[in-house]
Structure 1
Amino acid sequence: METAETPAATGLTFRDATEADVDTLVALIESAYRGDASRAGWTTEADILEGKRTDPEGVLAVIKATDSRLLTVERDGQVVACCQLEHRGDHAYFGMFAVSPVLQGAGLGKVIITEAERHARETWGAAEMHMTVISVRNDLIAWYERRGYRRTGRMTPYPYGDEPSGTAPRADLQFELLVKELA
């Protein structure tokens, strides 16, 4: 499906990821969140987390999971973004969201999250979209709030010791549930 609603959306193609995309998607996700490459964008977690954000097994698990899809976004044949959508009964879960750091800040993220919400609502009949965000990521939480997501105050612990999630040099990390009504 192509869309041309805004300049950021021009030339985008949305499709489901395949096993052949795993290495490309791992590289994209890592570049958006970890290491020096992530500092080109504003979504970096490099100052609060070290190590990997994901691994090939984690990406493949999302691709193969029942009631899940890894939406892959291409521009001019190049993968520029992705997000996980998972059908969970009356709501959908949104995760593994990554936009190439060099394209961040130009409106691409807004286009992708809008498409993800449309899909969850129209394909699965989801009434809400849920996501979790590291609670100290105030800039990222504020971005989601501007998109209509609300903080719930419901926290889950950060998975310290889970290498694919990265290692944290600080002990105060947790995830907050953000929710948006889709109806």
Structure 2
Amino acid sequence: MMVEEGRAAPDVTLQATGGRSFSISAHRGRPLVVYFYPKADTSGCTKQACDFQEALTSFNSAGIDIVAISPDPLPALEKFAAKYGLQFPLASDHDKAAAQAYGTWVQKSMYGRSYMGMERATFLIDANGTLSRIWRRVRVPGHVKEVAAAAKALNNEASLRA
């Protein structure tokens, strides 16, 4: 299945923080931001999570949910969520099935060494389960504002159609 704007979002089901289970299909009828990040409690991932947490009220009041996915085990995600007061679900993709479905488990390189790792990427999924926007190789500064603007535009389009 190709992951590109205008196509159906791959359905995944994962265990998430707070004893929650998360699935794309369970969010039909409501827009969703899904973001993939490499590792909990590292500087870039912490900044990104805190930026989304700071904007959570405005996303939720616009009817948009957020879920973050990483390959970390659930206990590490629970600790990360508690440490920073993250109220949106952090889902554990320990077997990397979701990352593979979304094309975010990629070959990376650092200091001349190649390895497989999680690409920082964000997906905006509309209420019908269609990929509305995709951001690959995300840079954290300013990213949440960009996602919020796209989400707001998506909601405006949906209300015009209703």
What TM-score comes out, normalization by structure 1 length? 0.27
Structure that is richer in strand per residue: 1
TM-score (norm 2): 0.30
